[in-house]
Structure 1
Amino acid sequence: MLEKKVTKYIKDHNLLHVGEKLLVGVSGGPDSLALLHFLHSMSGQYGLGLVAAHVDHMFRGEESYEDLVFVKKYCEERSIVFEGTRVNVNRYMSETGQSSQTAARTLRYRFYQEMMVKHSIHKLVLGHHGDDQMETILMRLTRGASGAARAGIPVKRPFGNGEIVRPFLPLEKRDILEYCSRQGLEPRLDPSNEKESYSRNRFRLSVLPFLKRENIKAHEHFQRFSKEIREDEELLLELTKSKMESIWVKQSKLESAIHVKGLMAMPNSLQRRAVQLILNYLYGENPESLSAKHTSQLMELFVNPDPSAELHFPKGLLVKKSYEVCMFSFLQTKPKTYYLKLEVPGEILLPNGYKIKAEYSKGSACKNDNSTFLMPAREARMPFIARTREEGDRMYPKGLRGSKKIKDIFINEKIPIEKRDAWPIVVDSSGEILWVPSLRKSSREAERGDDQQIYIYLEYIKV
């Protein structure tokens, strides 16, 4: 039964204490509603004070507002303190350039932190369960995660001036649904959880059922894997930190430097973690655009026999090697310009965390949105070049008469000023602008559907 599993898990991991005041994140779905109900059922015995926090992301209009009303009514009927808010995620996405999921999470956790301060609470309780853990680990491994990220969702972690705890991690989704049924709970259901347009849903709907058919206790094995990875990572990080003390030349958030030879003398497993510690220190919280590929680039820079080389990382971080010292600096004010030849087939990695992939293809097999560009191979003036913008750049946008300044396109699309200098402009050998990835295509782009000829197909992809 859920009650027995969760009570044991709380005790084993020292998650909750008698007389504590807790903030509970409640969406109104089965997981969070079961969590709130469970905590409320034990609140009298353990003297727990509960505050339920709900965030309406306004993705589903009136339907998502009804979720807020539902949670509020549930709390009022049980004298649970309720805090709810509505946030315009779409507007925040346009302001920051973040994806829908990242923007929603940022605003949700910001509200949680505000409520913890308001109510003097130091513990946020969330309803993530064992199936969530499996999804997260699989997604991260598929995307090439390294280090502690492979461990998935932690049982508890620091958050603001307190911590986040997750007492439902030993459970499967079916445990929660059985509890809701047994307790007469009627949670709200989010139809977007069934859409395969979200990668997490694809893992949930297709991969997890297969793994559970292979092993009914798969979620327990994933949880053990998470625990072991996290413990191993803690030990390796401690070893790395002890080695790091001797390789810092300069240590500052804005500008730091290390001895390359000292870092390369470490075992490989510690080298990788040293690089991650350096980036964690500099960024504080790593940007979404920072990936394992950047870590690989940095390692390649260290072993490169050339005495001088540099890399441009997200958020304006310049990495510059000069003989045996490598400098990391945010002090530069403008990204370096680039002029990169695009081979077909082939791909180029860009300083902004994206890449452009080029291949020969048939028209009907290609995606058709602003992240792609298609041109008959016989009409192409090669080579294609990806470069930074230049003064006076203009293009002839598809579907419009006349030309348009690239500067105006950036303004119209509300691209932040700090992103414009690193944004790729794709031109042909004559210098004509063909494509501003994700924003506009030129009139030179082909119409889709013709499979009688060979096309050059370009795609702008996040790394």
Structure 2
Amino acid sequence: MNLSIVVAHVDHMFRGQESFEDAMFVKDYCEQYTIPFEMTRINVPELIEQTGKSSQTTAREARYEFYAKIMNKYHYSYLALGHHGDDQMETMLMRITRGSSGKSRAGIPFTRPFHNGTIFRPFLNLTKGEIEAYCKKYQLKPRLDPSNEKSIYSRNRFRKEVLPFLKHENRHVHEHFQRFSEELQSDESFLQELTVQQLNTVMTKREKSEIIIDINRLLSMPIPLQRRGIQLILEYLYKEKPGSLSAIHIDQILSLMVSPQPSGKLDLPNGLKIIRSYLQMSFQFELANEHTYLFEVREPGTIELPYGGRVGMDLIDREYVGTNGYYALFNAENIKLPLTIRTRKIGDRMTLKGMLGSKKLKDIFIDSKVPIQARETCL
């Protein structure tokens, strides 16, 4: 078929000498059949300690980084991986059981973009049994990872307990799972495209660690798009989505939106805060009131505020100032410097023009329906 193939092998060093011998087994096989072979040993347990990431994430990132280097070295545009039909069923069942949503439920894609090329998985329509039968027919003797037999891993429990039942019910069940996966991915891609188009009109603020949306605009979208809109926001903010995040959290966010209460708060995994205030909802990792500020003004000049805007003080010799924006005039003889410019504190009170006495700042904000997240940056 005029194919040019290079075998790339990664030893994650989880199993010490045993996994190194696996690598040597693959190396010897490739040398026997004159197949170019590339390998690397990556101390993933050490990387886990350094980064604090999960073992799966750390191993995957290290592995794919190596694959990208090999593709560059040989100028290849395709990366073939060995996932088979049983892997697909296990993955889909685990994700549905865990409460995954969106494309995650569709399992392992047959093909997807990667680096400067494409990943594809040619064995997804084959079962593990069919691959084993092929090995037996051609007298191949593969090495087996003993950790695949340990019942402490949830994937192994699905493999040893659930899959045999499904295969007994229908020996072609892996083909149905693969067809279902491809249909889900196709449907999801279409719905995601519609969601992105409408979501741009919903977001009123979009920053690296915070997104604010207009609740009414989101609720005007069809419910399937509402769910996917929330999912896209979470994916954007999390970068690396925590395993504990599930469809239940999306339901909680939607419930908070339609709650008769004008305000509320949710705490999501890894410190993400969901704050509803009237018809706005904020998704943010750091609450604004965790970053208070205080400035002292001792002479005429302008101060740039941390959250945008500015405050200036001028000394003038007339009662009327022709200027735009917000300003107030005071008799200089009655002003004692320095003036303090700060964010609010609990219990602050103020007197509004025309009011006798004072009123709590919190009550003024509530009466004016100032969103919670905006109150904390008011000076």
Shared fold, TM over 0.5? yes
SS state of the match for residue 309, structure 1?
strand
Quote the residue 1:17 is aligned against: none
> How far apart are the structure 1 equivalents of 2:270 and 2:76?
33
1:280 aligns with 235
1:178 aligns with 2:113: no
**DSSP-derived class of the 1:256 partner:** strand
Q: CA deviation at 1:88?
A: 1.7
Alpha-carbon contact 2:6-2:35 (below 8 Å) kept: yes
> Which residue number in structure 2 is paired with residue 55 of structure 1?
10
Partner SS state of residue 113, structure 2: strand
Which one-letter code corresponds to 1:243 in the other structure? Q
Q: Secondary structure at the match of 1:50?
A: coil
SS of the equivalent of 2:283 reads strand
Match of 1:113 in 2: 68
Contact 1:124/1:164, CA 8 A, preserved across alignment: yes
Structure 1 position 232, deviation (Å) = 1.7
- 2:178 aligned partner, one-letter code: Q
Aligned to 2:297: none
Correspondence for 1:262 among 213, 217, 229: 217
Q: Deviations over 1:301-360 (max 9, x none)?
A: 212333233334344433322221222334559989xxxxxxxxxxxxxxxxxxxxxxxx
Aligned: 1:310 with 2:265: yes
State the AA in 1 paired with 2:36: V
SS in 2 for 1:49: coil
Match of 1:225? 180
What does the per-residue CA deviation read over 1:30-67, in whole Å, with 9 as the maximum and x for residues that have no partner?
Answer: xxxxxxxxxxxxxxx2x322221111122222111101
Q: Mapping of 1:156-167 within 5 angstroms?
A: 156-167=111-122
Within-5 A mapping of 1:45-444: 45=1, 47-330=2-285, 332=287
Alpha-carbon separation, structure 2, partners of 1:69 and 1:192:
19
Aligned to 1:451: none
State, as a whole percentage, how many aligned pairs show the same letter: 55
Give the letter for the 1:152 counterpart. G
- C-alpha change, 1:332 and 1:95, in structure 2 (3 Å) is farther
**More displaced, 308-317 or 167-176?**
308-317
Measure, in 2, the Cα distance between the counterparts of 1:164 and 1:333.
42
Which residue type is aligned with residue 99 of structure 2? G
Shift of 1:230: 1.5
Distance across 1 between alignment mates of 2:257 and 2:73: 48
Residue type at the aligned position of 2:217: G
Contact kept, 8 Å, 2:151 with 2:157, in 1: the verdict is yes
SS at match of 2:5: strand
2:376 corresponding residue in structure 1:
none
The amino acid across from 1:83 in the alignment is E
Distance 1:125 1:132, change over 3 A: same
Are the structure 2 counterparts of residues 117 and 328 from structure 1 closer, same or farther at C-alpha, using a change threshold of 3 Å? farther
Aligned partner of residue 83 in structure 1, secondary structure: strand
Secondary structure at the residue paired with 2:134? helix
Secondary structure in structure 2 of the residue aligned to 1:157: strand
Paired residues of 1:52 and 1:81 also in contact (CA < 8 A): yes
Query: What is the identity, as a one-letter code, of the residue corresponding to 2:152?
Result: S
Question: What CA deviation, in whole Å up to 9, does each residue of 1:78-102 have, x standing for no partner?
Answer: 2322211112222222233333333
Q: Is the 8 A contact 2:113 2:119 kept in 1?
A: yes
Contact 2:98 2:246 in 1 (8 A): no
CA contact (8 A) 1:58 1:64 kept: yes
- Judging changes above 3 Å, is the alpha-carbon distance between structure 1 residues 328 and 93 closer, same or farther for their aligned structure 2 residues? same
Q: Counterparts of 2:101 and 2:210 in 1: how far apart (Å)?
A: 25
Larger radius of gyration: 2
SS in structure 2 of the partner of residue 53 of structure 1:
strand
TM-score normalized by structure 1? 0.59
Deviation for aligned residue 1:128: 0.7
Tell me which residue corresponds to 1:36.
none
Partner of 1:14: none
RMSD: 2.3
Q: How does 1:445-460 map to 2 (within 5 A)?
A: none
* Number of the residue aligned with 2:323: none
TM-score by length of 2: 0.71
1:436 paired residue number:
none
Residue type at the aligned position of 2:89:
M
Conservation of the 8 A alpha-carbon contact between 1:151 and 1:225: yes
Higher strand share: 1
**Structure 2 letter corresponding to 1:184:** Q
| Post-superposition CA distance 1:90-144 (Å, at most 9, x none) | 2222233333333322322232223223333332110111111111111111111
In structure 2, the partner of 1:349 is: none
- Aligned equivalents of 1:91 and 1:124: distance in 2? 27
Alpha-carbon contact 2:101-2:246 (below 8 Å) kept:
no
Supply the distance in 2 between the matched residues of 1:288 and 1:139 (Cα, whole angstroms): 12
Higher RCO, 1 vs 2 (CA within 8 Å, ≥6 residues apart)? 1
C-alpha separation in 2, matches of 1:113 and 1:242: 32
> Is contact 1:316-1:334 (8 Å) kept?
no
List alignment gaps of at least 5 residues for structure 1. 1-44, 337-463
Q: Give how far 1:201 is off.
A: 0.7
Distance 1:242 1:105 in 2: 32
Of residues 190-199 and 180-189 in structure 1, the stretch that sits farther from structure 2 once superposed is: 180-189
> Is the alpha carbon distance of 1:79 and 1:291 closer, same or farther for their aligned partners in structure 2, counting shifts above 3 Å?
same
Give the aligned length: 291
